[in-house]
Amino acid sequence: MIYLDNSATTRVDEDVINIMNLYHSINYGNPSSLHRMGLAAEKALDTARIQLASLLGVDNKTIYFLSGGTEGNNLAISSAISKNKRLGNKLITTKIEHPSVLEVFRHFSTCGYEVCYLDVDRSGFINTNQLEEVLSEETIVVSIMKVNNEIGCIQNLKRIGEIVKKKSPQCIIHSDCVQALGKVPLKPILDGIDILTFSGHKFHGPKGSGGIYVNKELNLKTHTFGGGQERGLRSGTENVPAIVGMGMAAEIISKDFEVVTDHIKKLKSYTMELMCQQIEDIEFNSKDDDNFAPHILSVSIKDIKSEILLHLLENKDIFISSGSACSSKKKSGSHVLKSMNLSQDSIEGSLRISFSKYNNASEVEYTIMVIKEAVGSLRKYIRR
C-alpha cells in the first residue's frame, strides 16, 4: 500500500499507539478524580501540554486541548469575535480557508458582521495591498491560514500581522495552522499570531485530538459549560489517551523536524521532476520553493478527470486525493483552485499528492509509473 494522502490524515506513530494503549487500559483515570489515578491522568495532560508548548515555543499555559481542527477553528473565531464585539463589526479572512473557518464566518455574516474574503493570486497568495485597503479600525478579527491544505502555499503571517496591528491594534489574529504544524517552522510569537489551531491526526497523532494556542493576554470566554476543564474554556472530560498521544507525536516532531522536512521536501521535488519527464501536458499548482509547504503537491493533468485517476490508483493500492468529484449533475470542484482562477478543466484534472516521513523514493517512482500508464489509457478515451 502506498499512502500519499497525508494532508487528509496521517498514519499514527508506533510510539504514539503504545502510549495511548497505556492510557486506555491501565492509566485510564479521570483527571478530575481526587484519587491517585486521577492525578496520574492530570500529570499526563501536563506533560502533553509541555510537549505541544515547547514545539510551538510558547508558555504551556497558552495551550488548550480540544477535539480537533474544526472545534479549534470554531472556538477560536467565535470567541475572538465575541471578545472584540464592542470594538467593531468587520471581519477579514481569505477565500481559500478550510470550511471549518469559512462556515464560521458565513454564520457571523448573517448576524450583522461584515466579512471580507480576501482574493488570492494564481499561486494562492493574498495581496497585502488588498488587506491594507479593506482593513479599518473596526476590523476586530482576521483569520488567515498558514499553510493551505490543497496546494501548500504559505502565507506571510509575520508581514500580515504587522499590517493588521498597525491599523487596528486590538484586532485578534487567528491562524488555522492544521497543515503547518510539523511541516514548516511555526512560532506564533514570531509570526504575531494571537490564536492558532492545530490538529493531532495531521502529524501522526490520533484523530479526535487537537487544540489551540491562545496568546496569554487574551481572556477568551467559553461556549461550553460544565465541569470547567481546560481552565474553563472547554468543559468535558479530557480525551486523555488522545491528548497524550498527540503530545508524544509533537515530541517526535521536535526531535527530528529538520530530517523529516528535508526528506519530504526531496520527495516532492523528485515527484515533480519525474512527472515533468514522464507525463505530458501537466501543470503544477504548487511550487518547489520555500513559499510552499514541503508535503503538498497539487498538479493538474490535462484531459483527465482526476477522480477516475484516483480510483485507478486505489485499484493499485495507491491512495491520493482529487480536487474534484466526477459529477455530471453539477460543476463541482475545489473552492481553493477556483479562487486561484484555474479553468474548470484544470480543476477537474487536479490531483493532490501529499507526503509524510513514511514515504520513500521508490514509492514515488512506482506511483508515477502507474499514473503515467493510467493517464495514457484514459486519454485514449477522452482524446478520441
Residues at the contact surface with other proteins, assessed by CB under 8 A: 305, 307-312, 314-315, 325-329, 332, 380-382, 384
CA distance 209 to 289: 31
C-alpha cell, 78: 467565535
Nearer to other proteins, 218 or 378 (CB): 378
CB of 344 to other proteins, least distance (A): 12
Nearer to other proteins, 36 or 329 (CB): 329
CA distance 98 to 15: 30
CB of 378 to other proteins, least distance (A): 8
CB of 274 to other proteins, least distance (A): 22
CB of 313 to other proteins, least distance (A): 8
CB of 305 to other proteins, least distance (A): 6
The half-sphere exposure of 8 on its side-chain side, counting CA atoms within 13 A, is 10
Nearer to other proteins, 163 or 312 (CB): 312
Nearer to other proteins, 131 or 310 (CB): 310
Nearest of 133, 134, 139 to residue 84 by alpha carbon = 139
Nearer to other proteins, 195 or 310 (CB): 310
Catalytic residue, candidates 111, 116, 153, 326: 326
Nearer to other proteins, 122 or 329 (CB): 329
Nearer to other proteins, 228 or 376 (CB): 376
- In the residue annotation, 326 being an active-site residue is answered as yes
CB of 314 to other proteins, least distance (A): 8
CB of 335 to other proteins, least distance (A): 16
C-alpha cell, 194: 494571537
Nearer to other proteins, 266 or 302 (CB): 302
3-state secondary structure labels for all residues of the chain: CEECECCCCCCCCHHHHHHHHHHHHCCCCCCCCCCHHHHHHHHHHHHHHHHHHHHHCCCHHHEEEECCHHHHHHHHHHHHHHHHCCCCCEEEEECCCCHHHHHHHHHHHCCCCEEEEECECCCCCECHHHHHHHCCCCEEEEECCCECCCCCEECCHHHHHHHHHHHCCCCEEEEECCCCCCCCCCCHHHHCCCEEEEEHHHHCCCCCCEEEEECCCCCCCCCCCCCCCHHHCCCCCCCHHHHHHHHHHHHHHHHHHHHHHHHHHHHHHHHHHHHHHHCCCEEECCCCCCCECCCEEEEEECCCCHHHHHHHHHHCCEECEECCCCCCCCCCCCHHHHHCCCCHHHHHCEEEEECCCCCCHHHHHHHHHHHHHHHHHHHHHHCC
Q: Decide: residue 128, CB within 10 A, 0-12 exposed, 13-18 middle, 19+ buried.
A: middle
CB of 318 to other proteins, least distance (A): 12
Q: Annotated active-site positions, please?
A: 326
